[in-house]
Structure 1
Amino acid sequence: MSQNITIIKEDILREIKLSCKIPEVIEQIISRKVIISSAVEAGITIEPKELQHAADQIRLVNNLDSADDTWKWLEKHSLSLEDFENIVYSSLISGKLAAHLFSEQVEPYFFEHQLDYSAAVMYQVILDSEDLALELFYAIKEDEISFHDVAHKYIQDVELKRSGGYQGIVRRKDMKPEISAAVFAANPPQILKPIVNSQGYHLILVEEIIQPILDDKLRYKIITELFAEWLKKQIDQFEIELILD
Structure 2
Amino acid sequence: MAETAGILQVGEQVLTAAELVRSLAEHQLLVPLIQGIVTEQALRGVECTPEEQAQWVQEFWQQQQVTTPEQQQAWLKRHHLTPEQVVVVATRPQRLQRFKEVTWGAEVESYFLKRKAQLDRVVYSLIRTHQPGIAQELYFRISEGEQSFAEAAKQFSQGPEASTGGLIGPMPLGKLHPSLTKLLSVSQPGQVWPPVQLANWWVVVRLEQLLPAQLDEATRQQLLDELFHNWLENQINPSAPGVQV
TM-score tier, shorter chain, comes to 0.7 to 0.9
The answer as to whether partners of 1:31 and 1:235 remain within 8 angstroms in 2 is yes
Which structure 2 residue ranges, 5 or more long, are not aligned? 1-9
Contact 1:102 1:223 in 2 (8 A): yes
CA contact (8 A) 1:122 1:166 kept: yes
For the residue of structure 2 that corresponds to 1:228, the secondary structure is helix
Instruction: Note the C-alpha offset of 1:136.
Output: 0.7
Answer with 1 or 2: which has the greater Rg.
2
Normalising by the residue count of structure 2, what TM-score does the alignment of the two structures yield? 0.73
**Match for residue 29 of structure 2?**
25
User: Paired residues, what number?
Assistant: 222
Q: Which protein, 1 or 2, shows the higher relative CO under an 8 Å CA cutoff with sep ≥ 6?
A: 1
Secondary structure of the residue aligned to 2:106 is helix
Alpha-carbon distance between aligned partners in 1 of 2:154 and 2:123, rounded to the nearest angstrom: 19
Shift of the 44–148 alpha-carbon distance from structure 1 to 2, 3 Å rule, reads: same
Residue range with higher mean Cα deviation, 217-226 or 134-143: 134-143
> 2:156 & 2:51 partners in 1: Cα distance?
55
Q: Per the alignment, do residues 81 and 189 of structure 1 end up closer, same or farther by CA in structure 2, a change over 3 Å counting?
A: farther
Indicate the residue corresponding to 2:126 in structure 1: 124
Counting aligned pairs with the same residue, the percent is 18
Alignment gaps of 5+ in structure 1: 1-6
User: Do the aligned residues in 2 keep the contact of 1:191 with 1:204 (CA within 8 Å)?
Assistant: yes
Report deviation, 1:167: 2.8
Return the letter of the residue paired with 2:135. Answer: A
State the shift of 1:49 in Å: 5.2
Shift of 1:150: 2.4
Per the normalisation by structure 1, the TM-score is 0.73
* Distance in 1, Cα, partners of 2:167 & 2:207: 10
Deviations 1:118-138 (A, max 9, x none): 221123222112211111112
Confirm or deny that 1:99 pairs with 2:105.
no
Are 1:192 and 1:206, in contact at CA under 8 Å, matched by a contact in 2? no
Partners of 1:229 and 1:171 in 2: CA distance: 19
Where does residue 137 of structure 2 map in the other structure? Answer: 135
Structure 1 vs Structure 2 CA RMSD: 3.5
